[in-house]
């Protein structure tokens, strides 16, 4: 009962016996209520509850209120938990729908960028055949990978970081000490060589074979990735993937046999298979030495490859130029429009592959690469 009166003690309320005259009781209560600034209308029901306390009416009312409160507290968590389950299910469905939509867009973008790169290379070969210079020029564009990633970070992140802070954070892919000169040479050099070989052999194959054949042969790198992962990384053996690898190798032989094993056909198939092999080796070594990198770390690493290519590989096209292996009349005569288009689409392809792994399912990236085969076939027909 005294919980209704924070400023009242129990002794001042229950001091008078029933039936006795207590002329000062109401005055004492009113004096004690006066500091709380309670008016007569608002204090009347409270005094009535106090005067009926001896008959037990107030106790029953409080008990009923407590019971109703207990019932309310029992049903409320059930309703809230059901609402939480519904909300969680809705969020899960929304996430799946968004992943599917992003996956469809990524598939179309990956396929279009790879088809566009291949077709521009074939067009450029009509008047300009310098595959290593084209490889070196397009690899230099990888330097822009990290700036593109940081621009996306500024546009989407709630807590924005400075460029240097973000750069140091993504440098952890090289180790706890970040990017040092020793690690720059030790980790970047082999991957840069594999990157250059992959692209250079791919461009050489495009000179000997059609774009459709080269794209189909390059898709065999998935089978090579499995074989190397099984041998190097000791991945779990899967019979289905072994069958797929055997079928991929059989397809390579059949494509060479389709042209009666002509010299150009054999050389072109060898170049395409070599490009797929070096691409698979690049991926397996990346997994073994650098682990599973996130999007920011991958962007940092690809930009580092671009810097390494610009600093240490630039002497190679110079040597090829003066030895007349890859020679052109003047820099003004270079097809800069085609070269920039090829390099831009190649950069877009690499960005989309890394973004797609974050936004959607990785299998969709492989589907986008495989769809480049019918895409090149259709473009060739048109």
221 and 280 in contact (C-beta within 8 Å)?
yes
Give the 3-state secondary structure of residue 257. helix
Dist. CA 373–CA 382, nearest whole Å? 14
In a domain, 44, yes or no: no
Calculate the CA 120 to chain-centre distance. Answer: 29
Burial of 65 (0-12, 13-18, 19+ CB in 10 A): exposed
In a domain, 189, yes or no: yes
In a domain, 275, yes or no: yes
Dist. CA 382–CA 380, nearest whole Å? 5
* CA 239-243-244 angle, 5° bins: 115
Q: What's 235's DSSP letter?
A: P
Reported residue count of the chain is 382
In a domain, 48, yes or no: no
Task: Give the pLDDT confidence score for residue 32 in this predicted structure.
Answer: 40
The parent domain of residue 240 ranges over: 92-381
Dist. CA 160–CA 154, nearest whole Å? 6
In a domain, 72, yes or no: no
Task: Give the pLDDT confidence score for residue 147 in this predicted structure.
Answer: 93
In a domain, 84, yes or no: no
Radius of gyration of the chain (CA): 38
In a domain, 2, yes or no: no
Both tokens of residue 203?
Answer: 């461009």
* CA 145-359-307 angle, 5° bins: 15
Regions of the chain where pLDDT drops below 70 = 1-78, 235, 237, 239, 241, 244-245, 248, 252-253, 255-263, 357-360
The dihedrals phi and psi of 324, each to the nearest 5 degrees, come to 65, 15
Contacts of 238 (CB under 8 A, 6+ apart): 226
Task: Give the pLDDT confidence score for residue 333 in this predicted structure.
Answer: 85
Both tokens of residue 299?
Answer: 């962007």
Task: Give the pLDDT confidence score for residue 77 in this predicted structure.
Answer: 60
Q: How many separate domains does the chain show?
A: 1
366 and 222 in contact (C-beta within 8 Å)?
yes
Q: Nearest to residue 117, comparing CAs of 379, 358, 320, 310?
A: 379
In a domain, 39, yes or no: no
DSSP 3-state percent helix, strand, coil across the chain (nearest 5): 80, 0, 20
For the CA atoms of 91, 93, 98, 99, the dihedral, rounded to the nearest 10 degrees, stands at 110
Give the 3-state secondary structure of residue 261. coil
């Amino acid at each position: 009962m005294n919980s209704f009166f924070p400023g009242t003690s129990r002794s001042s309320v229950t001091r008078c016996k029933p039936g006795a005259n207590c002329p000062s009781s109401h005055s004492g209560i009113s004096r004690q209520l006066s500091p709380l600034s309670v008016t007569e209308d608002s204090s009347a029901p409270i005094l009535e509850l106090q005067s009926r306390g001896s008959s037990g009416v107030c106790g029953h009312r409080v008990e009923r209120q407590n019971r109703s409160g207990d019932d309310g507290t029992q049903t409320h968590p059930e309703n809230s938990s059901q609402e939480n389950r519904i909300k969680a299910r809705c969020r899960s469905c929304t996430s799946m729908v968004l992943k599917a939509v992003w996956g469809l867009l990524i598939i179309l973008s990956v396929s279009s960028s790879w088809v566009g790169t291949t077709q521009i290379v074939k067009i450029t070969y009509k008047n300009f055949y310098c595959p290593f210079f084209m490889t070196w020029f397009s690899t230099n564009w990888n330097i822009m990978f990290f700036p593109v990633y940081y621009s996306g970070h500024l546009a989407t992140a709630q807590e924005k970081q400075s460029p240097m802070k973000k750069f140091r954070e993504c440098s952890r892919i090289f180790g706890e000490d970040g990017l040092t000169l020793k690690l720059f040479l030790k980790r970047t050099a082999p991957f840069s060589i594999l990157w250059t070989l992959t692209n250079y052999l791919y461009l050489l194959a495009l000179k000997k074979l059609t774009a459709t054949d080269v794209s189909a042969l390059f898709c065999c790198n998935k089978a090579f990735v499995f074989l190397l992962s099984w041998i190097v990384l000791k991945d779990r053996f899967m019979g289905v993937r072994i069958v797929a690898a055997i079928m991929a190798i059989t397809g390579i032989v059949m494509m060479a046999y389709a042209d009666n094993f002509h010299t150009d056909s054999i050389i072109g198939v060898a170049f395409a298979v070599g490009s797929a092999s070096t691409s698979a080796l690049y991926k397996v070594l990346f997994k073994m030495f650098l682990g599973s990198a996130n999007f920011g770390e991958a962007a940092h690493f690809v930009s580092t490859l671009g810097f390494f290519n610009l600093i240490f590989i630039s002497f190679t096209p110079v040597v090829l130029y003066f030895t007349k292996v890859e020679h052109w009349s003047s820099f003004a005569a270079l097809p800069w429009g085609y070269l920039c288009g090829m390099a831009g689409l190649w950069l877009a392809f690499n960005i989309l592959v890394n973004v797609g792994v974050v936004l959607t399912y990785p299998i969709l990236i492989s589907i986008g690469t495989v769809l480049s085969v019918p895409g090149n076939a259709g473009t060739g027909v048109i």
